[in-house]
Amino acid sequence: MSLSLKKNAMPEQDPKVRARNFDEVALGYEAELAQAEASRCLNCKAAPCRKGCPVDVDIPAFIKHIKEGDMDGAIANIKEVNGLPAICGRVCPQEDQCEKFCVLTKRGEAVGIGRLERYAADYARKQGESAATAAAAAVGQKVAVIGSGPAGLSAAGELAKKGYAVTIFEALHLPGGVLMYGIPEFRLPKEIVQAEIDGLRQMGVAIEVNAVIGRTFTVDELIEEEGFDAVFIGTGAGLPHFMHIPGENFNGVYSANEFLTRCNLMKAYRFPDTGTPIHVGKKVAVVGGGNVAMDAARTALRLGAEEVHIVYRRSETELPARLEEIHHAKEEGIIFTLLTAPVEVQGNQEGWVTGLKCISMELGEPDASGRRRPVEVPGSEFVLPTDTVIIAIGQGPNPLVQSTTKGLETNKKGNIVADPETGATSKPGVFAGGDIVTGAATVILAMGAGKKAAAAIDTYLSDKRAGQA
């Protein structure tokens, strides 16, 4: 049988149906499709795909297990290094990471590594298997993890495996961070996130919710009064950026962070069964071109908007969102208003948004990012009628932890300065990783940072134990 150069298609909900519900868009492989996709893997000895995996999953090994029908072997292989496979299989940008290095891309499409990881994780969950990994004997030291997003969860899991007593402090009322409050239900169902987190609890990780570090406790209090031997900060990037144009204070203007968090926190995905006081007009404009912009646009559509525009100042070639997300948005009827930059939000006397004044752009010479710089076209202003404007142009670090921690160095953007290999900060015993260090990035990169920091914390605390012996 000749090797197929194309991936086996992922079964999905019909676009016209899914555009009005919050059920998961991608339905996942069944056994036959999974084995067919696994059979495309050449099981290369050099395994170049591993170069693109921030947590170093042995990709050919787990795929070989799937091909042979050994699902226990597949999930055990993945969980040796990745505690959140059902999440990574859904939201990681595999096309820019592991799949980018697949040798099949020289002639066709990469093996669907993410799809197979999801299949293995979902299979294990359906069989009722625990996500927990056996923890080592207790070493008698405590580690505090601030934030329960992907960096914090990864660090906590790795430390629990090594026998540390780990407590996660989460500001909101459920753990998961961006996985729970930032990513929509139709891309990452909440029950899957909580199932992965339950595995950490089974390993002995304690989770304190409604705990705002910087208010409930400071980092110094965790160490000096609560007896923690080390602290990992993984608070992410939750402070939204705005355009600073006239009219951004009108009612009906949201940051994407606020919009998506409200929808997830108040369970808008179960509307009308849950009361969700979120104003979404008939016409919505989402400013930005990344994955968060796609999430906000597709969420607005599902909440009843009749017309949703993605307003982006460059062309489609420069859109930073995943190709899959762009494709899904187009299928669902999202309108892409490209080479367009907002200059003013317009509103009425009652204070509500009525339109978004924009100017057309053209692409000039490349800028520092390597992308062609958008340049205004004189005299090309126009008004896009809209009831709601959602700003999705990026986010930065919330300053609360940094501003209340003595001796913690930050950069000019407010991110914590930390060693990229160890997560060590300027404050002894305090480590950091993920978006709070790098700025907004991906789930798997944050997980990789959490994993590296956990290894460094283990070294730091092992040395401490040796010194006390």
Q: Is the pLDDT of residue 368 over 90?
A: no
What pLDDT does 75 receive?
A: 94
- 266 pLDDT band, cuts 50/70/90, is confident
Instruction: Outline where 214-307 has alpha helix (H).
Output: 219-224, 256-265, 291-302
Q: Tell me the longest C-alpha to C-alpha distance in the chain.
A: 75
For position 278, what pLDDT does the model report? 83
Whole-angstrom Cα distance, residue 323 to residue 154? 27
Instruction: Please give the pLDDT value at position 244.
Output: 95
Higher pLDDT, 441 or 1: 441
Segment 169-178 mean pLDDT: 94
129 — pLDDT class (breaks 50, 70, 90): low
Segment (H or E) for 154: helix 150-161
pLDDT level of residue 409 (50, 70, 90 thresholds)? very high
- Asked if 248 contacts 345 with a C-beta cutoff of 8 angstroms, the reply is yes
Instruction: Kindly indicate the confidence band of residue 134, based on its pLDDT and cuts at 50, 70 and 90.
Output: low
Local confidence band at 126 (pLDDT 50, 70, 90 cut-offs): confident
In the chain, what percentage of residues exceed pLDDT 70?
Answer: 97
Residue 131, pLDDT above cutoff 50:
no
The more confident residue out of 369 and 216 is: 216
Q: What integer pLDDT is reported at residue 133 of this predicted model?
A: 63
Asked if residues 56 and 81 have their Cβ atoms less than 8 Å apart, the reply is yes
In order of their start, the domains of the chain are 15-127 (1.10.1060.10), 142-238+397-468 (3.50.50.60), 241-391 (3.50.50.60)
Q: Is the overall model pTM greater than 0.75, yes or no? A: yes
pLDDT category of residue 356 using cuts at 50, 70 and 90: very high
Report the amino acid identity of residue 47: A
Cα–Cα distance measured from residue 157 to residue 234, given in angstroms and rounded to the nearest whole number: 13
- What is the pLDDT, as a whole number, of residue 372? 86
Q: Does the pLDDT value for residue 469 go beyond 70?
A: no
* pLDDT of the residue at 312: 98
pLDDT at residue 390 greater than cutoff 60: yes
pLDDT for the residue 130: 52
pLDDT in tens, 326-342: 999 999 999 999 999 99
DSSP secondary structure string for all residues of 386-452: -SEEEE-S-EE--SHHHHTSTT--B-TTSPBP--TTT-B-SSTTEEE-THHHH-S--HHHHHHHHHH
Mean pLDDT of 422-438: 96
440's CB contacts (< 8 A; 6+ apart) are 237, 394, 395, 396
Residue 462 clears pLDDT 50, i.e. is over it = yes
Please report the pLDDT score of residue 340 as a whole number: 98
280-297 residue pLDDT tens: 999 999 999 999 999 999
Q: Does the pLDDT value for residue 366 go beyond 50?
A: yes
